[in-house]
Amino acid sequence: MNAYLEILRPGNALMAVVAIFLVALINGTFNLNVFLAAVAVFMATGAGNAINDYFDHRIDAINKPQRPIPSGRISLKNAGRYSAALFIIAIAIGFYINILPGIIVLLSSLLMIWYAYNLKRKCLIGNLSISFLTGLCFVFGGVVVGHIYVSIALGFYAFLMTISREIVKDMEDVEGDREEGATTLPIVHGKKSASILAAFFIVFASITSPVLYFIGIFNALYLLVLAPAILVFLSCAVSILRDVSVENTAKISKRLKMGMGITFLAFAIGSPFVAGMLGF
């Protein structure tokens, strides 16, 4: 993969784009603004990933030496310039859509930079920041299509799923983070405490997510598709409590991402618009 594409972590950036299209799909609204919002979110998220690698190049040299900067495929200076250019374009697109979307992209970009520079290494604050940004993608989509109520509900569950994964990722990266003097949750309070909190968020999200059906946001198809995701999440909760090794946390991080993907699919298929298209 080209280094300038890789540093954006396109898989993660596309997950943010999915949030926009999910809200649009649920609302049955597809127009130019939705497309522009997706582009803005992809660029801003990619820029956030790039600036994160910029500030974390020393940690990545220990934890993930194959990444573009520590591997020498992108210079530190070019990574910084690349990230800045993407942020500026994303913000410009946000303001082109409207004032409020522009303000959201601007403030989100500033938070991503602050997160990469400082907040990431703070106990739980970094986890809360990135989880808030993930949930905000749904709210941003809701603002663009005029469907804020549902987008807040989806954003809340995206927040819960993300914070559990962020804690697990911190458990995986303890060695490099400690070298850089980071004060992440597993470093400050130990991996066991971190595993308990991660499991709590996983279980809470799993057992309460069917509520979105009972309050009328989604139909029964949502529950059908959601069931496998809940099984994945609960198995992750059990596994993280039993084994806090780096190898296991790496596996759980991937499985949580898979569970999030299934959940997003449940959001889409369970929406009234899609259900109507399917004849339900």
Domains defined along the chain, listed by start: 3-278 (1.10.357.140)
- Out of 36-45, 84-93, 208-217, which region has the weakest mean confidence (pLDDT)? 208-217
Average pLDDT value for the chain: 89
Are residues 259 and 232 in contact, defined by beta-carbon separation less than 8 angstroms? yes
Q: What is the number of alpha carbons within 13 Å of residue 219 lying toward its C-beta?
A: 14
Q: Burial level of 99, CB count in 10 A (0-12/13-18/19+)? A: exposed
Segment 251-278 mean pLDDT: 84
Confidence of residue 1 (pLDDT cuts 50, 70, 90): low
Question: How does residue 275 score in pLDDT terms, banded at 50, 70 and 90?
Answer: low
Average pLDDT estimate for 80-95: 96
Q: What is the pLDDT of residues 90-104, one digit of tens each?
A: 999 999 999 999 999
Record the pTM: 0.86
| 274 — pLDDT class (breaks 50, 70, 90) | low
Size of the chain in residues? 280
Kindly report, residue by residue over 109-126, the tens digit of the pLDDT.
Answer: 999 999 998 887 778 888
pLDDT(246) > 90: no
Mean pLDDT of 217-236: 93
The residue ranking higher by pLDDT, 122 or 208, is 208
Output the pLDDT for position 251: 93
pLDDT at 230: 96
Q: What is the pLDDT of residues 128-149, one digit of tens each?
A: 999 999 999 999 999 999 888 8
Q: How confident is the model at residue 280 (pLDDT cuts 50, 70, 90)?
A: low
Q: How high is the pLDDT of residue 15?
A: 84
Q: What pLDDT was estimated at residue 198?
A: 94
Cα–Cα distance between 88 and 209 in angstroms, integer? Answer: 36
Quickly list DSSP for the chain. Answer: --HHHHTT-HHHHHHHHHHHHHHHHHHT--SHHHHHHHHHHHHHHHHHHHHHHHHTHHHHHHH-TTSTTTTTSS-HHHHHHHHHHHHHHHHHHHHHH-HHHHHHHHHHHHHHHHHHHTGGGSTTHHHHHHHHHHHHHHHHHHHHHT-HHHHHHHHHHHHHHHHHHHHHHHHHTHHHHHHTT---HHHHH-HHHHHHHHHHHHHHHHHHTTHHHHTTSS-HHHHHHHHHHHHHHHHHHHHHHH---HHHHHHHHHHHHHHHHHHHHHHHHTSHHHHHHHT-
* Tokens matching residue 225: 């598709």
Tell me the average pLDDT across 248-256: 92
Question: Which whole number is the average pLDDT over 45-66?
Answer: 86
The CA distance from 136 to 4, in Å, is 26
Backbone angles phi, psi at 254, to 5 degrees: -70, -40
